[in-house]
Structure 1
């Protein structure tokens, strides 16, 4: 039937079939860019959890030896229609046991209880998704996912919904010509209708998005996301609904692989809140949100000595313990020096110890005259450094003492004190009474004899 449409300054005449004579689902071939997007959606869906609510197929403890993974006997097709027209996606799937079926639009699962879409499944394995009146929001990629214990498989059909302009339906190119123009977005001026415009639009879709984050104050925070869409979407970031502007601490980057990043360094308590990333293009917009929690920075305290090193004297050949106690936040690093020479590592005879309570010890097993001198211990952390110094004297035992004043036992071997731990024990408490030479007064720093 021929129908004349009269405009303000022009007239257009074209043939239009009656609804019962036309084929509403006009097929077309997707571009390579669209195919890449479809492949990304299918790859992600085949590896993501799905909502099982409403699925009538239930698997018990079925034997899987003779099972067959799902496969498509007939796949979904791609369609181009005008808004307001009905459309049906259908395919046929098989597998043993009977696969579960899930439908998705642009990667988002469609509920079987949807008011807009009707989902059906026949006994022969034919599955269909139908809507009686398409809208511009129905434009997108529709994926069916079939799953059973043997595996998962998916296929996708592209639906292109063309707008009907104010003058009536736009003329269709014969047999779904791939170069047919898509009517302009409703947001553009209706003038200059002969101006070439982009053929297809895709709403933004996030392929990668971060979850909630907890970052310590003063550290770096990075939020990465990846979005698809045609034309390429513009991204904006908000904190608690307010736009984030780039500055010295907030940077927005785009890498070559398409990953967008919001980088905050250093993070402060003011950066805590709900972040929203909004992707927008001519086809629409999409967004995701996350919460950033900023952990309080630990207060730094410089090291301080609770107990300092003490000047000590010891008889030649006996063990001696130089010890002190220090505190600080974070726990400080400990450094030992003898005179101007650093003690960098422990040996079997001279060992360095410390515990979680701040006790520090330099243990010398069997002191010699070469061990005498000034010892310095230093404690250092991010907040400061502190040192203390003490003298170690090593005395020679008197060799002309009366027989009755000599020790009843030989001097203790180093192995006797090897079990001493780093718990701040007094080395003298480990001696047996008879093992202590009664003629030595260590605290006085003198050697006495009954002969004198």
Structure 2
């Protein structure tokens, strides 16, 4: 197993001749900074919805009348390993009914269909997550959440993955020799250089990132993201690979809850393209990209009559049509009136019609003298309103 060297420059050293499984089980204590990050992830997960896609791994499905909230009898441990080594996170959870469990890496849910991880659970509540060959990208915080109708509980294990070129070597350069180029693992674990444990570095990881967006020209566009990492990462935004500078229409904000926002108002056609958000700190960098599509601003045109109502006369008992044609963008709503009385719906004798070409019609089947009078049709949309009026005369037939 690992042994400790005495003295001010003491560090954990791995014995290369030992089996990889033994070295992979090396545990270590997390720093206060790491513990705060772990607590933040657990707090958020216990209050956020999880994807119920049928991929979750239940620890059991028993149900009883008197329920007991989920509780971890054995919590996840923290591991420090070299890349390529296997590692297994194991815990044991109880509860009545037996809770469902969900695994997360750095706050992002892990699907049981993910080929990189093996996830299983035993009837006694033991739950495990295993990877046969760790990579540098596996470095992070692994959280298991247990959920039942009685409540939620979670615990987190830290996995630190060191680059393989550090294996079997003292992390400090020999006396009298200059330090060589820092490897990726060196920036992840600066405690190897005699710095306090609180100074460990963790590369940025996006806990929240937006997807592709479509925004109408002239509207407001907001892109929100949340990133973890130690030290706190610096964020920069790029459009089609070119840095975005803050100006009167482009603002970059950071809220107290750690959410970073790029706000564009108003959006123009020049804002369309591929946006990349880059997070950088001493441990490395991470990024996400999305496409912003700017939809053309809708052209508003007030209604206009292409054909107006015409004065009409008809003998009583005969049908008659009052007809006009109107255009506008968006297509206007149509309102009819007879004298000062609104005609809001069709009846068996008087019906209202309009088609997709702008033709509007009021049809009377078997006109009577009571149908005579002034008829007004109005067309209205967001850009304006227009009306026209015509007279209907009904003549009494002479026998």
Q: Which TM-score band applies after superposition, normalised by the shorter structure?
A: 0.5 to 0.7
2:184 is aligned to 186
CA RMSD of aligned residues (A): 4.9
Question: Deviation per CA, 1:328-351, whole angstroms, max 9, x where unpaired?
Answer: 6579xxxxxxxxxxxxxxxxxxxx
2:223 is aligned to 223
Q: Is the 8 A contact 1:214 1:292 kept in 2?
A: yes
2:100 is aligned to 100
2:169 is aligned to 168
- Residue-pair matches, total: 322
Question: Deviation per CA, 1:262-313, whole angstroms, max 9, x where unpaired?
Answer: 22333233433443333233334433343433222223447767689xxxxx
Q: Is the 8 A contact 2:26 2:79 kept in 1?
A: yes
Q: Distance in 2 between matches of 1:297 and 1:422?
A: 29
Q: Provide closer, same or farther for how the CA distance between residues 194 and 31 of structure 1 changes in structure 2, counting only shifts above 3 A.
A: closer
1:43 is aligned to 44
Q: Distance in 1 between matches of 2:167 and 2:70?
A: 46
Q: Is the 8 A contact 2:63 2:97 kept in 1?
A: no
SS in 2 for 1:49: coil
SS in 2 for 1:35: helix
1:356 pairs with 333, 348, 351, which one?
Answer: 333
Q: Distance in 1 between matches of 2:30 and 2:300?
A: 65
Q: Distance in 2 between matches of 1:432 and 1:65?
A: 83
Q: Provide closer, same or farther for how the CA distance between residues 209 and 91 of structure 1 changes in structure 2, counting only shifts above 3 A.
A: same
Query: Is the radius of gyration larger for structure 1 or structure 2?
Result: 1
Shift of 1:15: 9.7
2:121 is aligned to 121
Q: Is residue 137 of structure 2 the alignment partner of residue 137 of structure 1?
A: yes
1:271 is aligned to 271
2:29 is aligned to 28
2:155 is aligned to 155
2:297 is aligned to 297
TM-score between the two structures when normalised by the length of structure 2: 0.60
Shift of 1:261: 2.0
Shift of 1:23: 9.0
Q: Distance in 2 between matches of 1:94 and 1:131?
A: 24
Q: Is the 8 A contact 2:184 2:283 kept in 1?
A: no
SS in 2 for 1:27: coil
Q: Distance in 2 between matches of 1:418 and 1:41?
A: 74
Q: Distance in 2 between matches of 1:17 and 1:289?
A: 39
Gaps of 5+ in 1: 4-11, 172-182, 309-323, 332-354, 366-415, 434-452
Q: Is the 8 A contact 1:250 1:262 kept in 2?
A: no
Shift of 1:48: 2.2
Q: Provide closer, same or farther for how the CA distance between residues 23 and 425 of structure 1 changes in structure 2, counting only shifts above 3 A.
A: closer
2:54 is aligned to 52
Shift of 1:156: 0.9
Q: Distance in 2 between matches of 1:203 and 1:417?
A: 82
2:90 is aligned to 90
Q: Distance in 2 between matches of 1:55 and 1:219?
A: 43
Q: Provide closer, same or farther for how the CA distance between residues 357 and 130 of structure 1 changes in structure 2, counting only shifts above 3 A.
A: closer
Q: Distance in 2 between matches of 1:96 and 1:218?
A: 54
1:214 is aligned to 214
1:246 is aligned to 245
Q: Is the 8 A contact 1:185 1:282 kept in 2?
A: no
SS in 1 for 2:91: strand
Q: Distance in 2 between matches of 1:169 and 1:133?
A: 23
Question: Deviation per CA, 1:33-53, whole angstroms, max 9, x where unpaired?
Answer: 642454235523652215533
2:367 is aligned to none
Question: Deviation per CA, 1:386-414, whole angstroms, max 9, x where unpaired?
Answer: xxxxxxxxxxxxxxxxxxxxxxxxxxxxx
Shift of 1:418: 12
SS in 1 for 2:101: strand
Q: Is the 8 A contact 1:42 1:156 kept in 2?
A: no
Q: Distance in 2 between matches of 1:209 and 1:142?
A: 19
Q: Larger relative CO (CA 8 A, sep 6+): 1 or 2?
A: 2
Q: Distance in 2 between matches of 1:103 and 1:138?
A: 14
Q: Provide closer, same or farther for how the CA distance between residues 232 and 109 of structure 1 changes in structure 2, counting only shifts above 3 A.
A: same
SS in 2 for 1:137: helix
